[in-house]
Amino acid sequence: MITIENQKKTLRKEMLIQRAKMDVNDKKAYDLWICEELEHLILKKKCNVIHAYLPMGKEIDITPLLTNLLEKKITIVAPKTLPKRKLENRILSSLETIEKGVFGTTHPANPTEYKASFDLIIVPGLAFDDEHYRLGYGGGYYDNFLVNHPDAYKIGIFYPFQQVAKVPIESHDFKLNEILYKNKIEG
């Protein structure tokens, strides 16, 4: 019998390969669409404090969104990856003041830690399903973080090929409020 952990491992590998093969222009167009949709949602929900990842590798590039939100004086908090599956949430004051972290991550160089609540949390991942479960990179960082913010609206963003029939889940896996994607990538 194949374990859930092995199912996750296989799915992660498949998704990383597919994401690496994306056409650069298609990726750029899709990333901009995601940014526009997220900004519309943020303004509609009147969100004041957003938790957002700083993209690494081939993740959806949300830096245009972050730039727009900073211009609108919306508070953005981005994670610094710490040992033991913990995130330190730092206020992002500028995309010019970021530094490299572990596992290829970047985070705000500003050491001002944010410990209050979030209106919206933008969640990256490798696979998502219609029940709003996600498959992350396997570190458990977001699962540990999300469980401590039950009132925040949590949205997963991804490419169409990252949608799967069912994400293999374990008891610690966290369900999102919403997933955002469109059925095809148009460059």
Mean pLDDT of 95-122: 93
Residue 185 has pLDDT above 80, yes or no: no
Would you say residue 121 lies in a domain? no
Looking at residue 56, its pLDDT comes to 93
Would you say residue 69 lies in a domain? yes
Average pLDDT, the chain: 94
Would you say residue 87 lies in a domain? yes
User: In this structure, are residues 160 and 185 in contact, taking their beta carbons and an 8 Å threshold?
Assistant: yes
Residue 104 has pLDDT above 90, yes or no: no
What residue type is assigned to position 90 of the chain?
R
Residue 184 has pLDDT above 90, yes or no: no
Mean pLDDT of 153-176: 95
Domain of residue 32, CATH code: 3.40.50.10420
pLDDT band (50, 70, 90) for residue 111: confident
Would you say residue 120 lies in a domain? no
Would you say residue 185 lies in a domain? no
Counting the structural domains of the chain, the total is 1
Would you say residue 186 lies in a domain? no
User: In this structure, are residues 70 and 97 in contact, taking their beta carbons and an 8 Å threshold?
Assistant: no
Would you say residue 37 lies in a domain? yes
User: In this structure, are residues 114 and 83 in contact, taking their beta carbons and an 8 Å threshold?
Assistant: no
Question: What percentage of residues in the chain have a pLDDT greater than 90?
Answer: 83
Distance CA 168, CA 128 (A): 10
Looking at residue 186, its pLDDT comes to 61
Q: pLDDT tens digits, residue range 136-152? A: 998 889 989 999 999 99
Q: pLDDT tens digits, residue range 20-67? A: 999 999 999 999 999 999 999 999 999 999 999 999 999 999 999 999
User: In this structure, are residues 105 and 56 in contact, taking their beta carbons and an 8 Å threshold?
Assistant: yes
Residue 187 has pLDDT above 80, yes or no: no
- Could you write out the three-class secondary structure of the chain? CCCHHHHHHHHHHHHHHHHHCCCHHHHHHHHHHHHHHHHHHHHHCCCCEEECCCCCCCCCCCHHHHHHHHHCCCEEEEEEEECCCEEEEEEECCCCCEEECHHHCEEECCCCECCCCCCEEEECCCEECCCCEEECCCCCHHHHHHCCCCCCEEEEECCHHHECCCCCCCCCCCECCEEECCCCCCC
What pTM, to 2 d.p., does this model score?
A: 0.95
Mean pLDDT of 4-21: 96
Domain that holds residue 47: 4-114+129-180
Would you say residue 122 lies in a domain? no
